[in-house]
């Protein structure tokens, strides 16, 4: 519970926003909401930046280093797994650290350079690793250490000079819940795992806890699917209170293999909400075309479906490169897609027209060098004009 200022209370009252305070952590709160079936929770800091935005900022700042991508992947991973939070908590008391730790540990020598450590972290897509000398645990080196070394132009100094020597480790036979406590108490991202004689036998990250527990849980969960809260029930209750549910998907530029997945999920969500098929079709066409535009033309961005009472809005936002001439882009047959994309059957130049035709309200704003924002609203009741 943080202090809620009178100004916040006044604004909330004025805007009709319900404020709920809780002593539980963000992780726990999100976990509970996911359990209820809320698929998307937008978490922002005091400056209204989302976790993703902060990671993107970091990655832009340190172009040499791949932390943005790594961070986002972790984030998606944890979002998908948070849903079974309650059951995970039970398992935490059941399993030992050695059941879920990673046994193949990437390590570095104290005499290695920070540059070498940076490469190892990048190659293995990890955020930190133990420093070993003749099998003995000497310290831990993390992405933060690498970033600091880069900032101070000390990337060629030895790892021993930059590592943290204060190592918090955990015993292989301790319960997972102990590891969770150590994580939250220390604020660390990884714990080296040692046996009774203090020899390193593995490593444990927060991701291991959610990720591995889910793998163990899955077969058990299939047995009691019936007990899970039904997605559409939760949504229907929310919609009755005039809430808007936002499903948000990250769309990666030029990733044709995964293209369309966000739209498929939106379609499935609407089917489970029992939206009439003809309307789902209009939403599906809009979301697919908008998603493909992000894949083909943008530097990557987000596809969202905002499901509110009586309407669904498909929104895409990207960070560039922007559209030269919006009016021209709207003309049927006009496309800037490169030839290889057209050969795949994309870039016919009618995508935006398709969206406009399906939508009851259509809005597109863009400028070269800036991002593009597209919003297509489809009414769920009544006839399209």
Map residues 188-207 to x or -, x wherever contact with other proteins holds by CB under 8 A: --------------------
Looking at the Cβ atoms of 124 and 357, the one nearer to other proteins is 357
Query: Cβ 295 to other proteins, closest distance in Å?
Result: 9
For the chain, the C-alpha Rg in angstroms (whole number) is: 24
Q: What is the DSSP string of 274-322?
A: T--HHHHHHHHHHHHHHHHHHHHHSS-EEEEEEEETTEEEEEEEE-S--
Q: How far is the CB of 352 from other proteins (least distance, A)?
A: 9
In whole angstroms, the minimum distance from the beta carbon of 232 to other proteins comes to 20
Give the CA distances from residue 122 to residues 69, 117, 177, 299, in Å, rounded to whole numbers and listed in that order: 11, 9, 29, 22
Q: Which is nearer to other proteins, 344 or 367 (CB)?
A: 344
Is the Cβ of residue 113 or residue 287 nearer to other proteins in the bound state? 287
Which letter does DSSP use for residue 108 in this model?
A: B
Strand partners, 200: 194
Distance CA 297, CA 166 (A): 48
Each residue 249-288 as x (binds other proteins by CB under 8 A) or -, in order, gives -------xx-xxx-xx--x---------x---x--xx-xx
Q: How far is the CB of 267 from other proteins (least distance, A)?
A: 7
Nearer to other proteins by Cβ, of 81 and 293: the residue is 293
Find the shortest distance in angstroms from Cβ 334 to other proteins. Answer: 12
Whole-angstrom distance, CA of residue 310 vs CA of residue 288: 21
CB of 271 vs other proteins, minimal distance in Å: 11
Query: Which residues in the 294-353 window bind other proteins by CB under 8 A?
Result: 344-346, 348-351, 353
Q: Which of residues 96-115 bind other proteins (CB under 8 A)?
A: none
* Structural contact between residues 379 and 324, judged by C-beta atoms closer than 8 angstroms: no
Instruction: Round to whole Å and give the CA distance between 33 and 295.
Output: 30
What's the closest the beta carbon of residue 280 comes to other proteins, in angstroms? 8
**Residue number, 145 or 289, with CB nearest to other proteins:** 289
Phi-psi region of 308 (alpha: psi -120 to 50; beta: other; left: phi over 0): beta
Report helix angle 67-82 to 206-223, nearest 10: 30
Applying CB under 8 A, which residues contact other proteins? 256-257, 259-261, 263-264, 267, 277, 281, 284-285, 287-289, 292, 344-346, 348-351, 353-354, 357
């Amino acid at each position: 519970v943080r202090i809620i200022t009178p100004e916040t209370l006044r604004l909330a009252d004025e805007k009709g926003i319900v404020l709920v305070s809780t002593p539980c952590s963000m992780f726990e709160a999100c976990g509970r909401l996911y359990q209820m079936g809320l698929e998307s929770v937008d978490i922002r800091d005091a400056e209204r930046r989302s976790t993703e935005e902060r990671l993107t900022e970091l990655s832009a700042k340190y172009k040499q280093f791949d932390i943005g991508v790594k961070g986002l992947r972790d984030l998606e991973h944890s979002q998908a797994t948070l849903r079974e939070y309650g059951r995970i908590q039970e398992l935490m008391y059941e399993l030992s650290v050695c059941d879920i730790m990673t046994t193949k540990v990437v390590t570095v020598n104290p005499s290695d350079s920070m540059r070498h450590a940076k490469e190892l972290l990048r190659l293995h897509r990890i955020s930190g690793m133990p420093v070993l000398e003749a099998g003995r645990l000497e310290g831990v080196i993390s992405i933060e250490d690498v970033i600091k070394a880069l900032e101070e132009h000390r990337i060629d100094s030895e790892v021993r000079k930059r590592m943290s020597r204060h190592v918090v480790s955990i015993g292989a036979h301790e319960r997972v819940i102990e590891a969770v406590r150590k994580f939250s108490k220390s604020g660390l991202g990884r714990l080296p795992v040692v046996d009774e004689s203090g020899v390193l036998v593995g490593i444990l990250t927060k991701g291991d806890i959610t990720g591995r527990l889910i793998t163990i849980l899955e077969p058990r969960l299939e047995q009691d699917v019936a007990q899970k809260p039904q997605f559409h029930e939760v949504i229907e209750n929310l919609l009755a209170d005039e809430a808007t549910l936002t499903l948000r998907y990250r769309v990666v530029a030029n990733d044709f293999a995964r293209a369309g997945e966000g739209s498929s999920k939106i379609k499935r969500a609407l089917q489970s909400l029992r939206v009439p098929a003809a309307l789902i079709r209009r939403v599906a066409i809009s979301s697919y075309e908008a998603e493909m535009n992000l894949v083909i033309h943008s530097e990557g961005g987000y596809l969202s479906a905002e499901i509110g009472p009586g309407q669904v809005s498909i929104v895409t936002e990207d960070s560039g490169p922007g559209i030269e001439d919006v009016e021209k882009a709207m003309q049927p047959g006009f496309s800037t897609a490169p030839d290889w994309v057209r050969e795949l059957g994309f870039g016919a130049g009618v995508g935006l027209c398709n969206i406009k035709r399906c939508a009851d309200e259509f809005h597109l704003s863009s400028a070269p060098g800036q991002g593009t924002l597209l919003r297509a609203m489809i009414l769920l009741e009544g006839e399209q004009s």
